[in-house]
Amino acid sequence: MRMKLLGSSALVALSLITLGFVGCGGDSDGAAPPTPPPAARAYQVARGFVRDPEGRAVVLRGVNLANAHKHAPYFGPHTEADFARISQEFGMNSIRLLVEWAAVEPQRGKFDGAYLDALAERVTWAKRAGLLVIVDMHQDIYGEGFDGNGAPRWTCDKARYDAFVPAKSWFFSYLDPNVIACFDGLWTSPELQDSYAEAVAAVARRVRDDEVVIGYDVMNEPFWGSQPTVTFEPSVLGPFYARVMDRVRKDSPSAIAFLEPAATRNLGLATQFERMPVEQAVYAPHAYDTTAEQGKGFSAAAKSAYLSRIAKYKVEADEFGTPLWIGEYGGTSGSTGIIEYLDAAYEGAGMAGAGSMLWSYDFDGGYGLVNADRTDKPAILDVVVRPVPRRVAGDAVDYAFDSKTRVFTTSFAPVASITAPTELVAPARVYPSGFDVDCGDCAFERDGDVVRVTRVPAAPRVTVKLTPR
Ligand code: IDC
C-alpha cells in the first residue's frame, strides 16, 4: 500500500478496515416488463472507445451533475439553461447524472413516479442541449441512515443508524462499524441486490433513450465493508455488477456498463479485477489527487505521480479491453495547487484518450464550478473549459493542450470505414479571437466552435492542431 504517496489523505484511514461484521437483508417485488427491441441508434463499446452509431470514438468530456442531487428533493437549482451552458459554453458533450437509490425507491418496492418524471425531464434537457447522459447510482457512506446518500433507510437496521457516530470528515464515516455492517448486508443479500437492480431498472424504464442515456455507473465508489479487499472485486462486486446490468438490460438492452473499481483504487491499490464482469463495459475509476483536492498543494513530484496513476488506469483498461473514463476529479476552488492539479487531470486524460468528468457542476464555494451566487469562477473555468475531440473517425485517440501557448493537438489512427466526420470543439473561452486549424493534407469545415474534419490523408496517424489567432 502506498501510504507515503497518499500523504495526509484521510481516505488512507479507510485502508485500515479489514475485519468482518454482520449485516442485514431486504426484499424486492418489482415486476419485469417485456423486453424492448434492440435500439436502432445505440451507442456501444468497440476497440477501446464508446462509439456513436456512426462508429466514431466518443471522448466523454463533461461534468458531474450534481452534488445537489444527493438529498431530498434530489435535484439542485439547475434549469434547462444550465444544461445548455455545459455544451454551448463549456464545450462538453456529456454529464454524469447523479441518481439516488433512496430517491427512486423511498419505500421498499415502491418507486417514486414523481421523482422519475423529474429525472426524465432533466434527460430531455440534456438531449436538447446535445449532451449524452451516464446515470450515476451515487452513494457516499452507504445511505441516508448515516446522513450519507444512496441507499434508502429501509435497506438496513434502524439500530445501525442509531448507533452510528458521524466522523468529522465525511469519508472517515466509512470506518464506522455500523456503516460496514450495512454494506455487508448488501454484499451478502441476493434479495437486497435484486432490489437495487430493480431500482436501477425502474430508472432505465423511465429514461431509456438510446440516443442520450448511454449507460449506467452502477455504483459510486463501491466500499468493501468487511469483505477481504483482495477478493472483493472479482468475487463480490463483479457478480453484483453483472446482476444489476443483466436486469437493466432487460429494459434497456444497449445500456453500457460504466464500472468503477472498488474504492480501494482511490487509496492507490491496483484493481483486483482481471476482466470486466459484463460485456459492453467501460472502466470508470476516479482520479483525485487527495493532497491538492484538499488545498495542500500540487508539487512537480505530485504531478508526475498523478500522471503515472492515470497512465496505470489506462494500462488496466487496456488489459480489460475496455475504454477508460474518469468519472470524477476535482477540488476546492481557490486552494493552493488547484489549477495545476486540474490542468494535470486534463493532461492525463488526454494522454490516455480518456473522457473525464469534473466534480462538480454545483453552485457553491467548494468543488462547484460556479459560486453560490451564480457568479463564475473564472480561474477554474479557464482550466476546465478546454478543446476536446468529441467524436473521432478512428482509433487510438489522444489529445493535449498547452495552457501557455493555447495550442491544442489531437491525433488518431483514421478508420476509412467510418464516414462521419471527426469533430473537435474549441470553446470561445479558450480562443476569444478565433483559431486556426492545421491538419496537413485534410479537408475540414468550421461551424462556430466546432471543426469537422471531412477528409483525412491515407496515413497511419493524423494530427489536427488548433492555434489561437
Ligand atoms: C462530496 C461533496 C461534499 C459532501 C460529500 C459527502 O463535495 O459536499 O459532503 O461528498 O456526500 C468523492 C465522492 C463525492 C464527493 C467528492 C468530493 O464520490 O460524492 O463529494 N469525492 O469529496 N469521492 C472522492 C471525492
- Hey, whose CA ends up nearest to atom 8 of ligand 1? 67
Is CATH 2.30.29.30 correct for 393-469? no
| Ligand 1 atom, smallest distance to 11 CA | 24
Ligand 1: residue of 12, 67, 260, 265 to mutate (most ligand atoms within 8 A of CB) is 67
Q: What is the pLDDT of residues 113-158, one digit of tens each?
A: 999 999 999 999 999 999 999 999 999 999 999 999 999 999 999 9
290 lines ligand 1 (CB under 6 A): no
3-state helix, strand, coil in the chain (%, to 5): 35, 25, 40
Whether the CB of 220 sits within 6 Å of ligand 1: yes
Find out whether the beta carbon of 111 lies less than 6 Å from any atom of ligand 1. no
3-class DSSP state of 365: coil
pLDDT tens across 323-345, in order? 999 999 999 998 999 999 999 99
- Specify whether the CB–CB gap between 66 and 362 falls below 8 A: yes
Lowest mean pLDDT among 62-66, 90-94, 209-213: 209-213
Q: Is 195 in the pocket of ligand 1 (CB under 6 A)?
A: no
Q: Give Cβ neighbours of residue 47 (< 8 Å, ≥ 6 apart).
A: 57, 395
Is ligand 1 within 6 A of the CB of residue 70?
yes
Q: How far is the CA of 38 from the centre of ligand 1 (A)?
A: 36
Answer yes or no: is pLDDT of 24 > 90. no
Q: Does residue 231 contact residue 64 with C-beta atoms inside 8 Å?
A: no
CATH number for the 8-385 domain, one of 3.40.30.10, 3.40.50.20, 3.40.630.30, 3.20.20.80? 3.20.20.80
By percentage, how much of the chain surpasses pLDDT 90? 89
Residue 193 CB–ligand 1 contact under 6 Å: no
Write the residue with the smallest CA distance to atom 16 of ligand 1. Answer: 359
What does the mean pLDDT of the chain come to? 92
Distance CA 197, CA 439 (A): 47
CA-only gyration radius of the chain, Å? 21
Closest CA to 468 of 386, 356, 390, 391: 386
With a cut of 70, say whether residue 1 has pLDDT above it. Answer: no
Residues in the chain: 469
Domains of the chain, by residue range, sit at 8-385, 393-469
